[in-house]
Structure 1
Amino acid sequence: MKLQYIIPYSSRLTFFLLFTLSISCAQTKSKDSTTAMDDHKVVNLATDTATFAAGCFWCVEEQFKQLNGVTAVISGYTGGHVRNPTYRQVTTGRTGHAEACNIIYNPAEISYDELLAAFFVAHDPTQLNRQGADVGTQYRSAIFYHNADQKKLADYYIKQLNEEGAYDNSIVTAVTPYSKFYVAEDYHQNYYVNNMNEAYCQRVIKPKLEKFRKVFKGKLKQE
């Protein structure tokens, strides 16, 4: 059974507020780039997809599914060297892959900035190659960027959050280019919805989901 450490809600909320204060400054700086940015919307994002690794993808998937503007969340594996990996292989930590989610979204309804905010709220980005008791490179914190604008925003926010001391420790999130993404086995998709009564879902995913929904109240599909 997977175990997951849950960051206290109060520190998560503080972190989120610090993060959102940085957005307007970041977008002002980013307007100098070759790809235009307007009103919290990054234009011409490749396939309107964000790809994040933030520990167990069962948790990440269900959190991002809650947000208005997110049309699909696909759990899978990326960042490694083994072709067509299985879940059993990835859990060994020897494939180089991370458990990750492709988040398909409508930039007219939700911006990449807001998805980054959700990413940093959804997990502890200061833990290296782990999330609590889930240990291994497969649980690493990572942003897989699809274009230069996504990389620029990710790098900027990490720098700002470190400078503001949002966490006691420095953020260790890796920012790396998107490559081949392998869709996980069918039973990993919509895991929480399909396994809601299991112990892991009740003890880990449900509390994290409730806290996530409190932070993003006003931006949820169902309220």
Structure 2
Amino acid sequence: MTQTFVIAGGCFWCLDAAYRALRGVTSVVSGYTGGARPNPSYEQVCTGATGHAEAVKVEFDPDVIAPEIILDAFFTMHDPRQLNHQGADRGTQYRSAMFFADDAQKELFEAARDRAADIWDAPVGAVEGDIVTTIEPLGAFYDAEDYHQDFFAKNPTQGYCLAVAVPKVNKVRARFAEYAA
């Protein structure tokens, strides 16, 4: 039986690409969650006014890849110390967040965030150092427009993909080589 996590950590193109590189991940859907506007468009989410985050719904087979690996990969592929941004992508729509469906997921997410704090110790003099990933109840999840789905595979030479997604995919593949697809 598969499990599903909904998580946000910057641009959903990067999360989508990195998760698709892992064996045991059966589906990744880019979308929007955590906001108030029903069925928002990409353009609306980009304004930051809807309250939604760019997120991915990751479905995986826990007999192939453990939930903890899915979550540790999440904390590997983005910097959870950056409040409302990842690199040059700025705004609440790029926040680091985990959206739990039940109490068991909430506990898994809290444990993963605690493990991430050991990985992401702030360097001396850092402006941002603490993990800022929020753990929020999962509300409605709205699939992003078709052109956002599996964006990296469809646009491998696009500048953003080359500059931002490729390093994240490579980092996840290196750290979780035994799960590389």
Instruction: Verify the 8 A CA contact 2:30 2:55 in the aligned structure 1.
Output: yes
Identical aligned pairs, as a percentage? 46
Q: Distance in 2 between matches of 1:161 and 1:201?
A: 25
Q: Is the 8 A contact 1:74 1:101 kept in 2?
A: yes
Contact 1:112 1:150 in 2 (8 A): no
Distance 2:150 2:130 in 1: 32
TM-score with structure 1 length normalisation? 0.75
Q: In the alignment, is the contact (CA less than 8 A) between 1:51 and 1:144 conserved in 2?
A: yes
User: Is contact 2:28-2:58 (8 Å) kept?
Assistant: yes
Structure 1 stretch displaced more, 200-209 or 141-150: 200-209
Q: Could you tell me which amino acid in structure 2 is paired with residue 120 of structure 1?
A: F
What's the counterpart of residue 87 of structure 1?
42
| Residue type at the aligned position of 1:123 | H
Contact persistence 1:75–1:188 (CA under 8 A): yes
Deviations, residues 153-178 of structure 1 (Å, cap 9, x unaligned) = 2213323543x473211100000111
Quick one: distance in 2 between partners of 1:116 and 1:65?
A: 14
Q: Which amino acid aligns with 2:137?
A: P
- Distance in 2 separating the partners of 1:64 and 1:70: 7
Map 1:112-191; keep pairs closer than 5 Å: 112-162=67-117, 164=118, 166-168=120-122, 169-191=129-151
Determine the structure 2 residue equivalent to 1:62.
17
Which portions of structure 1, spanning 4 or more consecutive aligned residues, are displaced by more than 3 angstroms?
159-162
Q: Are the equivalent residues in 1 in contact too, given 2:72–2:116 (CA < 8 A)?
A: no
8 A contact 2:77–2:171 mirrored in 1: no
Q: Distance in 2 between matches of 1:64 and 1:161?
A: 18
Provide the C-alpha distance between the structure 1 equivalents of 2:32 and 2:52, rounded to a whole number of angstroms.
Answer: 6
Gaps of 5+ in 1: 1-43
Question: For 1:214 and 1:157, how far apart are their aligned partners in 2?
Answer: 19
The structure with the largest alpha-carbon Rg is: 1
d(CA) in 1 for partners of 2:120, 2:14: 22
TM-score (structure 2 length as normaliser): 0.91
RMSD: 1.5
**C-alpha distance in structure 1 between counterparts of 2:41 and 2:78, whole Å:** 24
The letter of the residue matching 1:66 is A
Match of 1:75 among 21, 30, 34: 30
For residue 213 of structure 1, what is the aligned residue in structure 2?
Answer: 173
Partners of 2:115 and 2:103 in 1: CA distance: 18
In 1, distance between residues paired with 2:18 and 2:136?
Answer: 22
Uncovered stretches (5+) of structure 2, i.e. residues with no partner: 123-128
Structure 2 residue aligned with 1:108: 63
